[in-house]
């Protein structure tokens, strides 16, 4: 459709498209920075999961572009007088721009092609999507067959016949089409996607919340020390706190701590359960365990 309105005060009268936001839809409790990493992963999944559970595809109100305020319109650059056709900027833009001519490069983020033209990848293009996103497609004439198909397509025919402010409801049509898409909405596919997303979220949440064996023992040891400090007369001189790695398992070398300035004894343990290596004896604090050296 050709738009020849150039006055900025009339710009807000031009209807704009509505846009739906598309939401497409890793181990233990760690006392170092790793816990924060998985916390944010879980947070991202919860954000992604929320709109999926609320089924935005059938929402009563679409997400609309922000209104074009007078302040925004004042910031619009002047349109060149030699423009043969003027169209609104793509997306939620508020300004006018010269329509592209036949043979001009175009894409998702460029100005629109003029009347009777369509932005299409070049024939034989092996990466058509790449061309569209990089503005390397070409404005080409629409054939008669394409015009007929466009006139009969559900998203441009039936959808455009309805008021732009109206929202599609499940009982309006047996087949529901999303704006800008020519594939019908499949409730079963959406339900399956929601279940898959919930399963992934639960796995990550379980990995984040479940402590490793070393971290679990460390928590118990800290609680015992705290309780002993609350009993009058108890004087803590030596204690043992498990030495854990970032995955919540035991480091090969474990040492006893002392509050009296003495060097505590050390020994070597199994990575998985923290038990002393069979047949091994205590080692000096400055000696490393053989298992740790081989990792």
What residues does each domain of the chain span? 8-205, 213-294
| pLDDT band, residue 170 (cuts 50/70/90) | very low
Asked whether this chain's domains 8-205 and 213-294 adopt the same fold, the reply is no
Tell me the CATH number for domain 213-294.
4.10.800.10
| pLDDT band, residue 261 (cuts 50/70/90) | low
**Most confident of the ranges 12-16, 24-28, 129-133, 205-209:** 129-133
| pLDDT band, residue 140 (cuts 50/70/90) | very high
| pLDDT band, residue 148 (cuts 50/70/90) | low
pLDDT, residue 135, reads 87
- Dihedral over alpha carbons 264, 266, 269, 275 (to 10 degrees): -40
| pLDDT band, residue 204 (cuts 50/70/90) | low
Higher pLDDT, 216 or 92: 216
Backbone angles phi, psi at 239, to 5 degrees: -155, 165
pTM above 0.75, yes or no: no
**What is the arithmetic mean of pLDDT over 116-144?**
88
Mean pLDDT value across the chain: 70
pLDDT tens sequence across 206-259 = 665 677 899 989 989 888 888 877 777 667 778 899 999 888 899 999 998 877
Nearest CA to 74 out of 5, 3, 17, 7 is that of 7
Strand order in the sheet with 238-240: 238-240, 253-258, 266-268
* pLDDT of 11 strictly over 80: no
Q: How far apart are the first and last CA of the chain?
A: 69
| pLDDT band, residue 139 (cuts 50/70/90) | very high
Cα separation of 64 and 49, whole Å? 22
Interacting residues of 241 by C-beta distance below 8 A, sequence separation 6+: 218, 221, 222, 257
Cα separation of 268 and 250, whole Å? 10
Tell me the CATH number for domain 8-205.
4.10.40.20
* pLDDT of 197 strictly over 60: yes
């Amino acid at each position: 459709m050709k738009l020849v309105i150039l006055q900025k005060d009339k710009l807000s009268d031009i209807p704009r498209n509505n846009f739906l936001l598309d939401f497409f839809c890793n181990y233990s409790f760690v006392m170092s920075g790793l816990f924060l990493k998985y916390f944010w992963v879980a947070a991202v999944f919860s954000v992604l999961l929320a709109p999926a559970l609320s089924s935005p595809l059938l929402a009563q109100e679409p997400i609309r572009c922000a209104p074009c305020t007078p302040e925004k319109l004042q910031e619009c650059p002047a349109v060149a007088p030699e423009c043969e056709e003027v169209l609104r900027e793509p997306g939620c833009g508020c300004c006018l721009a010269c329509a592209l001519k036949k043979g001009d490069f175009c894409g998702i983020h460029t100005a629109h092609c003029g009347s009777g033209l369509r932005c299409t990848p070049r024939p034989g293009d092996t990466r058509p999507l790449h061309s569209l996103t990089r503005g390397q497609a070409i404005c080409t004439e629409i054939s008669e067959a394409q015009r007929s198909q466009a006139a009969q397509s559900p998203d441009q025919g039936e959808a455009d016949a309805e008021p732009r402010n109206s929202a599609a409801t499940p009982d309006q049509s047996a087949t529901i089409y999303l704006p800008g898409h020519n594939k019908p909405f499949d409730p079963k596919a959406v339900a399956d996607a929601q279940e898959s997303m919930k399963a992934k979220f639960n796995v990550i949440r379980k990995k984040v919340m479940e402590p490793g064996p070393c971290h679990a023992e460390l928590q118990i040891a800290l609680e015992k020390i705290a309780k002993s400090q609350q009993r009058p007369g108890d004087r803590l001189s030596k204690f043992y706190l498990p030495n854990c790695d970032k995955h919540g398992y035991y480091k090969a070398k474990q040492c006893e701590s002392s509050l009296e300035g003495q060097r505590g004894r050390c020994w070597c343990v199994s990575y998985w359960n923290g038990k002393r290596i069979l047949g091994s004896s205590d080692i000096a604090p400055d000696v490393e365990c053989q298992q740790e050296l081989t990792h």
